[in-house]
Amino acid sequence: MIRAQHNLDTETLHLLQQAAHHFNNQRAYLVGGSVRNLLLHEPCIDWDIVTDGDAPQLARRLANKLGGYYAHMHDKASRVVCKLEQQEIIFDIAPLQGDTIEADLHQRDFTINAIASPLTTVVEHLTIGGDLTLIDPLNGRADCESRLLRAVNDAVFKHDPLRLLRAVRFMTRYHLSIDQGTEQIVTRDASLLPLAAPERTHEELYAILRPDGATERLRFLDRHGLFTTLFPEFIPARGMRQPYLHHWDVLGHSLETVAMLEQLTTLLQQSPEHVQHSPLETEKQDLVAIQSLLREAEQQGIFQFATLTTPVMKMAALLHDIGKPVTYSADEEGNIRFYHHPQAGVPLVQQIMGRLHTSTQERRLVQQVTAHHMRPGQLSSDTVTPRAIRRYFVDLGPTGLYVALVSLADHLAMRGPEPLTAAWANHIGTTRLLFTRYIRERDRIIPPRLVAPEELIRALKLERGPLIGQLLDQIAEAQAEGLLHSKEDVLWFAQEKLQKAGVQTE
């Protein structure tokens, strides 16, 4: 027996008491993550119960009793959701797998999740502090105490390949080390991962990416054969050399860009004094100015610091150079080039994000970062004209802020531990200029249209086609330069452009 600690609120405890009373005539056990979290003194809002009764029927009745909502999940579980004032409490009710609770526990994934306790005993313990009796045939309690992740048997990943990613998530979430034997079977069974449902793979991958330190976990995936199983497009990137300014090969650089995006995001959210004393080599004044500009952008509703640390932004950082392996070339002198790799990367991003069943919005964001991540750096190599700034934000809108920040992370990751060059000062200075113009002078660089496309077509009796888009772009540039101020100005300007192009208008 073991005495566990808890800090449950009274509402949750009351729900558990009612649930225990509801299952009074059936065998019912608290299992899996619920017991694990109690032993690890972790919060628990999802309570897993197995019973030898009719699980769906019992769950429906429990929902009615608790005033909750019933949801049938699959053959193995029904869910009851109770909405409290501050949170939702979930009861997952599943039928006992096997003739005994011990048989059920032997079919689970990891020993820390293969522990059970009679539901009534748990409630007594949580209510009056008595000993918690555990059913622990696989010594999961000892592994909890040792913070060790150990598979129940060597076939757990064959039964459900998604457990390969869950292992990494559990290691992160609960600060676990992995048992050597389990580590070996992860590597052995890595090739099974594509058999998992894409939606579940997407969910687990994003859970791995979400906390800080994502690059460390991506490298763990890579060491065990899981990374290139998820992303076979990176297979040729391993060992692929880059131009001399790059410290890493293409694969290493892609992984490090995720780390640099996290580091840059953390720095930008600290006080200006912290930025000034940061060990990160930067143009400190420019970085402080960018920090201030982004706070203004957040107040305007066109930017969110929280978005920078989302899994989809880390996917964008990871995949920004995915077009390099298919565009690699080297001349006779050994100069390496990746001509048009941003454009080549777009269909590969579409392929990867589609394979993971991500949303259209997420695909669009990662594609935009991939297609345009070179632009801020390229702008910094020359005088940045108002026209170039306007075109950048006409193409990207507020997303251009995120693209530019990934571009800075890309630059930092390029150098690795090597000192930054003068190109960094130009790059961050250009980013500051881009942000200043868009955040503080947006109406001037991208003024509202004076004439709608349909109105232009009707007034000049034009056919629909690419010409309209070209004409609208020329009008917008002239408007941004202060040459056009009214609808009449626009129509006159458009007629003149069309006449010069040899296009007849009525």
Residue 167: which CATH number? 1.10.110.30
Identity of the amino acid at 79: R
What letters, b where the CB count within 10 A reaches 16 and e where it falls short, cover 138-175?
bebbebbeeebbbbbeeebbeeebbbbbbbbbbbbeee
Per-residue pLDDT reduced to its tens digit, 136-155: 999 999 999 999 999 999 99
**Domain end (from 230, 245, 265):** 230
Tell me the average pLDDT of the chain.
91
Among 268, 242, 269, residue whose Cα is nearest residue 254: 242
Q: Residue 446: inside a domain, yes or no?
A: no
Q: Residue 349: inside a domain, yes or no?
A: yes
What letters, b where the CB count within 10 A reaches 16 and e where it falls short, cover 52-80?
bbebbebbbebbeebebebeeeeeebbbb
C-alpha to C-alpha distance for 73 and 51, rounded to whole angstroms: 16
pLDDT class of 281 with cuts at 50, 70, 90 = low
User: Tokens 């004094």 label which residue?
Assistant: 273
Say if strands 88-95 and 46-51 run parallel, antiparallel, or are unpaired.
parallel
Residues 189 and 319 in one domain: no
With a cut of 80, say whether residue 439 has pLDDT above it: yes
pLDDT for 33 equals: 92
CB 438 within 8 A of CB 461: no
pLDDT class of 466 with cuts at 50, 70, 90 = confident
Among 136, 130, 91, residue whose Cα is nearest residue 117: 136
C-alpha to C-alpha distance for 341 and 324, rounded to whole angstroms: 5
Per-residue pLDDT reduced to its tens digit, 346-372: 999 999 999 999 999 999 999 999 999
Q: Phi and psi of 151, rounded to 5°? A: -70, 145
Per-residue pLDDT reduced to its tens digit, 106-117: 999 999 999 999
Q: What is the pTM of this model?
A: 0.88
pLDDT for 282 equals: 64
Per-residue pLDDT, averaged over 20-47, amounts to: 91
Enter the tokens of residue 378.
């390229």
Residues 182 and 269 in one domain: no
Q: What is the tally of structural domains in the chain? A: 4
Domain that holds residue 202: 147-230
Residues 56 and 183 in one domain: no
Per-residue pLDDT reduced to its tens digit, 327-340: 999 998 889 999 99
Per-residue pLDDT reduced to its tens digit, 451-463: 888 888 888 888 8
C-alpha to C-alpha distance for 322 and 487, rounded to whole angstroms: 45
Residues 248 and 363 in one domain: yes
pLDDT for 277 equals: 67
Strand runs labelled E in 202-335? 328-330
Percent with pLDDT over 90 in the chain? 69
Residues 371 and 326 in one domain: yes
CB 152 within 8 A of CB 111: yes
